[in-house]
Structure 1
Amino acid sequence: MPALNAITPDKLARLVASASAPPIVDLRESPTEAIPGSLFPAHADPTRWGYAAGSGTIVVDNDGGGSAVAAAAILRSEGVAAEVLEGGFVAWAASGLPTISLAHLPPRHDDGRTWWVTRARPKVDRIACPWLIRRFVDPDARFLFVAPGEVLAVAAQQQAEPFDVADQGVFWSHRGERCTFDVMIQAFGLETHEPLVRLAAIVRGADTDCLDLVPEAAGLLAISLGLSRIHSDDHAQLEAGMAVYDALYRWCRDAQGEKHNWSSHQPTRRKVSA
C-alpha cells in the first residue's frame, strides 16, 4: 500500500503515455534518463509551475523522500492534488519500467518547450512522431508544419528540430528500412518497450508501403489518408491523429488477446433444467 499522498511505480506506469496522464514533474538535477512524459520545471518554486487548483500532478525526485515531498505539499496547499512517486526514480528504474534517454533531447526554448518542424500535410510518420514526442518525451512540445523546401530554413531561424526530412544531415529521418518513428524509439532508449516495438511495425508498414509487414498497417494507412482529407489544417489533423495512436498503443499494450465477433460479447445463456 502506498504511503500517504504517494503513488506506486506500478500504478503510475498504467497512466504513463495516456491522454489522461497527470503531469509528471522531475526535480532531479541534470538527469540523463527519465520517466516517459516527464516535465522539468524552470522554477524551484512550485507555485510558479502553473498548475491550477483541482488539477493533479506527480512529483519525482531521486528516492521519493527528498525535495518531492516538500514540493507536493506546497502544491496541495494551493489546491493541486499532488502526489509523490513512492521510492522516486530509483524505484521506477528498479522495477524495470520504461525510461527515456535525454541524450538526444533538443534544447528547450524560453517557453520551456521543445520545438520541432517538419513538412506540411502529414500522413503517417509526421503524425506518429509528434504523438511519440508528446506522450513519451515532451508533453508540451510545439510542432511547426511548413512547405518541404522551407523546413531547414525555419529550423535554423526558429531553433526548431527538423524531423522526417530527406535532406542529408537531418538526424531524425529514415534510415534504411526504418522510418523516423523507428529512429526516435531507438534514440530515446525505448526500443525495449514491447508495446512501442509492436506499434513501430504498424507505423513502418503503413509509412513505407510494406502493408504485408503486419495486418494492422493497411488499416493505419487508410485511416491516415482519410484524416488528411478530412482536415485541411495540419494541427487539427495532428489532434485527431493523437486519438488514433493512443488507441493503437493501448491495443499494443494490453488488448491484443481480446477477440471480437458476433458471439464474443453475448451473455452466457443459462441451461434450464428439465
Structure 2
Amino acid sequence: MPAPNTITVDKLSRLVALPGSPVVIDVRSDPKEAIPGSLIRNADDVGLRPLLDASAFVVVDARGEGPAAAAAAFLRSEGLAAETLEGGFATWAEAGTPTVSFAHLPPRHADGRTWWVTRSRPKVDRIACPWLIRRFVDPEARFMFAAPAEVSAVARQHQAEPFDVSDDGVFWSHRGERCTFDVMVEAFGLSDHEPLARLAAIVRGADTDRLDVAPEAAGLLAISLGLSRQHSEDHVQLEAGMAIYDALYRWCRDAQGEKHNWSSHQPAKRTEASA
C-alpha cells in the first residue's frame, strides 16, 4: 500500500498521456529522459510560474525522496491535489514503462516551452505531431503555422523548430516511406510503446495516401480533411484535432478488442430458468 500522498508506478502508467490525467512535474536537474507528458521544473520554481490548467499533480524526483515531497507539499498548500511518485523516476524506469528521450528536443525558450513552426492549413501529420509533442514530450509546447514560403523565416525569427517541411536540413520531416510522425516517435524513444506504434501506422497510411497500411487510415484521412474544411483557423483546428488523436490513441491502447454491432450491446435475454 503506498504511503500517504504518493502514487504507484502501476497506477500512474495507466494515466499518463490521457486527457484529464494528473500533470506530472519532474523536478530533477536537467533530465535526459522523463515520464511521458512531464513538465520539467526546478524544484524551487514549482508554483512560481503558472502551471497547466489542472487540479491534480504528480511530482517526480530521482528516487522519491525530498525534493518531490517538498514541491508536492507546496502545491497542496495552494489548494491543489498533489502526490509524489513512489520510488521516483528510478522505479519508473526499472519497471520498463515508457520514457521520453530528450536527445533531440529543441532548446527551450525563456518561458520554459519548446517552440515549433510548420506549414499552415494542416491535415494529418501537422496535427498528429503537435498531439504527440503535447501529450508525450512537452505539454506546454507552442505551435506556429505559416505559409510554406515563410516557415524558414519564422523559424529564424523566433528560434522555432520547423517540422513537416521539405527544406534541406530540417530534421523533423518525411524519410523514405515514413512520415514526420514516425520520425518523432523514433527520435523521442517511443518506438517500443505498442499503442503509439499502432497509431503511427494509421497516421502514415493517411498522410502518405497508402490507405492499405492500416484499415483505420481511410477514416483518419476523411476526418482530417473534414476538420480542415470545417475550421479556417489553424489553431482552432489543432485543438479540435487533439480530441481525435486522444480517441485514436485510447483505441490503440486498450479498445481494439471491443466490437460494436446491433447485438453486441443488447441486454442479455432472460431464460425461463433465470426468470
- For the superposition of Structure 1 and Structure 2, which TM-score range results when normalised by the shorter chain? over 0.9
Matches of 2:52 and 2:204, distance apart in 1: 40
User: What residue number does 1:211 align with?
Assistant: 211
Give the root-mean-square deviation of aligned CA atoms: 1.5
Matches within 5 A, 1:27-38: 27-38=27-38
Matches of 2:130 and 2:50, distance apart in 1: 24
User: What residue number does 1:129 align with?
Assistant: 129
TM-score, normalising length: structure 2: 0.96
Matches of 2:15 and 2:224, distance apart in 1: 26
User: What residue number does 1:147 align with?
Assistant: 147
2:261 matched to 1:261?
Answer: yes
TM-score, normalising length: structure 1: 0.97
Conservation of the 8 A alpha-carbon contact between 2:56 and 2:82: yes
User: What residue number does 1:80 align with?
Assistant: 80
Offset at 1:17?
A: 0.7
User: What residue number does 1:184 align with?
Assistant: 184
Matches of 1:101 and 1:166, distance apart in 2: 24
Provide closer, same or farther for how the CA distance between residues 57 and 162 of structure 1 changes in structure 2, counting only shifts above 3 A: same
Matches of 2:53 and 2:118, distance apart in 1: 36
Secondary structure of 2:118's aligned partner: strand
Offset at 1:45?
A: 3.7
Conservation of the 8 A alpha-carbon contact between 1:53 and 1:78: no
User: What residue number does 1:9 align with?
Assistant: 9
Matches of 1:51 and 1:128, distance apart in 2: 24
User: What residue number does 1:249 align with?
Assistant: 249
Matches of 2:267 and 2:248, distance apart in 1: 27
Q: Percent of aligned positions with the same letter in both sequences? A: 73
2:162 matched to 1:158?
Answer: no
Offset at 1:46?
A: 2.8
Matches of 1:94 and 1:258, distance apart in 2: 31
User: What residue number does 1:222 align with?
Assistant: 222
Provide closer, same or farther for how the CA distance between residues 241 and 51 of structure 1 changes in structure 2, counting only shifts above 3 A: closer
Off by >3 Å, runs of 4+ in structure 1 = 51-54
Deviates most, 65-74 or 169-178: 65-74
Secondary structure of 2:14's aligned partner: helix
Matches of 2:51 and 2:143, distance apart in 1: 23
Matches of 1:233 and 1:246, distance apart in 2: 21
Matches of 1:4 and 1:203, distance apart in 2: 41
User: What residue number does 2:46 align with?
Assistant: 46
Conservation of the 8 A alpha-carbon contact between 1:121 and 1:228: yes
Deviates most, 237-246 or 6-15: 6-15
* Residue identity opposite 1:137 in structure 2: V
User: What residue number does 2:240 align with?
Assistant: 240
Secondary structure of 1:117's aligned partner: strand
Provide closer, same or farther for how the CA distance between residues 42 and 155 of structure 1 changes in structure 2, counting only shifts above 3 A: farther
Secondary structure of 1:57's aligned partner: strand
Offset at 1:54?
A: 8.2
Matches of 2:54 and 2:167, distance apart in 1: 46
* Residue identity opposite 2:47 in structure 1: T
User: What residue number does 1:110 align with?
Assistant: 110
User: What residue number does 2:71 align with?
Assistant: 71
Conservation of the 8 A alpha-carbon contact between 1:33 and 1:99: yes
Matches of 2:215 and 2:54, distance apart in 1: 43
C-alpha offsets along residues 92-145 of structure 1, whole Å, 9 cap, x if unaligned? 111111000001111111111110000000000000000000000000101000
Matches of 2:75 and 2:52, distance apart in 1: 9
Deviates most, 222-231 or 105-114: 105-114
Matches of 1:43 and 1:2, distance apart in 2: 23
Aligned residue pairs total 274
Offset at 1:47?
A: 3.4
Matches of 1:108 and 1:45, distance apart in 2: 16
Deviates most, 50-59 or 77-86: 50-59
User: What residue number does 1:55 align with?
Assistant: 55
